[in-house]
Structure 1
């Protein structure tokens, strides 16, 4: 007679824990500024045959070892590969304006730069969120800040970016009334965390921000359709 076998016990999978592990692998652990003019190339669904270029602010090293280009995009500093919106744009690749070459992976020299820096500045993880790194903003990025749907918005220049130990990134804005020196630099006491003081924030390139400040009708119309303040 054959021997009976007990049913194989079911494996319980904690989906929430799995998602948290996958998200942790995407956490940024080191930043490097882009100083050679490399761009992100994207296109819009409304004009699929036209490619647009946007300067890259920085490169980031993720926990899983991957390198990503970073651009101020909508509400945060965004990995270029994550730009995938029907309304706002699709990521195509990276571009070197000097050679006009378009490539889909970050350049090797940024990988070596970031991994070497991460090894040198290796930090010990602790229970509380700590500041890891600060970078100046070199693109003239502006933040449109709103604290209430019916309150006036403010357009403020971004002076820098902070990377924290949980992988989050925050912009640094200035309280001009507290500024004691010019120009304003990282470390000045007049700088403050954008997320800590403003309920809704949208980031814009310098030329778009100036059109908004000049109250260009077409730009303001597009802005009204795109920006929806949080209640």
Structure 2
């Protein structure tokens, strides 16, 4: 049974301030690419006995010290632990395809790499949002971009990822009118952050993007069911 507080001892708790502090501690402060083929493993409620694998794009160090795997998922480069949706996928763990080992936390060598890189690149904390880091795109990820009104969908290749000082991560897309040389590399002037121009940006693995390009009926039907309701709600 709780102890009643006297009127003079009542404490005002600013829940919004506490929420903002917790979010700030979970923001990403450093990225590292995944170069050894480690995967994210997830499960769908529709097939509870089946596990699915997806290659990790990279790892991210949060301000609270936690290291999380990152995958292009839905509308963002997403920490695996955030996958908690019965329909689209629930995170189970990480997997090494060579050994078939399943584990819950980031491997020690990635934790070591990120912690030391963050300590070396000690950026000043300012109110202005600045570019912290660029991560190469290594999986052929594509973005389905939708604009205002009835403008047609655009399917664009992702060329890299930018981490900003507020913890946000943006996909780098190419303005084809400004391409001067190929291959396109991070830092080229033709590249721009996806959400700076497009109202909605959805990410897909290369094989799904190729099915969309081929106008595979089943893929387009699933795409319409997934994307259009949310896109309409933003208008």
**TM-score w.r.t. length of structure 1:** 0.96
| SS state at 1:212 partner | helix
Query: Partner of 1:99 in structure 2?
Result: 99
Provide the C-alpha distance between the structure 1 equivalents of 2:97 and 2:53, rounded to a whole number of angstroms: 9
- Return the index of the structure with the highest Cα Rg: 1
Q: What is the CA-CA distance between 1:149 and the residue it aligns to?
A: 5.0
Query: Partner of 1:185 in structure 2?
Result: 185
Provide the C-alpha distance between the structure 2 equivalents of 1:172 and 1:78, rounded to a whole number of angstroms: 15
Residues 120-154 of structure 1, C-alpha deviation per residue, up to 9 Å, x if partnerless? 00101011000000011101000000003522100
Provide the C-alpha distance between the structure 2 equivalents of 1:222 and 1:186, rounded to a whole number of angstroms: 32
Report the CA distance shift for 1:6/1:46 in structure 2 as closer, same or farther (over 3 A). closer
Provide the C-alpha distance between the structure 1 equivalents of 2:18 and 2:149, rounded to a whole number of angstroms: 37
Q: Comparing 147-156 with 73-82, which one deviates more in the overlay?
A: 147-156
Query: Which structure 2 residues correspond to residues 110-121 of structure 1 after superposition, within 5 A?
Result: 110-121=110-121
| SS state at 1:227 partner | helix
Provide the C-alpha distance between the structure 1 equivalents of 2:172 and 2:6, rounded to a whole number of angstroms: 61
| SS state at 1:172 partner | strand
Q: What is the CA-CA distance between 1:217 and the residue it aligns to?
A: 0.6
| SS state at 2:106 partner | coil
Q: What is the CA-CA distance between 1:6 and the residue it aligns to?
A: 6.3
Query: Partner of 1:82 in structure 2?
Result: 82
Aligned residues: 227
Report the CA distance shift for 1:96/1:6 in structure 2 as closer, same or farther (over 3 A). closer
Does 2:115 correspond to 1:139? no
Q: What is the CA-CA distance between 1:28 and the residue it aligns to?
A: 0.3
Provide the C-alpha distance between the structure 2 equivalents of 1:48 and 1:174, rounded to a whole number of angstroms: 39
Q: Detail structure 1 runs of 4+ shifted over 4 Å in the superposition.
A: 5-8
Residues 63-86 of structure 1, C-alpha deviation per residue, up to 9 Å, x if partnerless? 000000000000001000101112
Provide the C-alpha distance between the structure 1 equivalents of 2:41 and 2:210, rounded to a whole number of angstroms: 22
Query: Partner of 1:217 in structure 2?
Result: 217
Provide the C-alpha distance between the structure 1 equivalents of 2:206 and 2:40, rounded to a whole number of angstroms: 16
Q: What is the CA-CA distance between 1:87 and the residue it aligns to?
A: 1.2
**TM-score w.r.t. length of structure 2:** 0.94
Query: Partner of 2:168 in structure 1?
Result: 168
Query: Partner of 2:56 in structure 1?
Result: 56
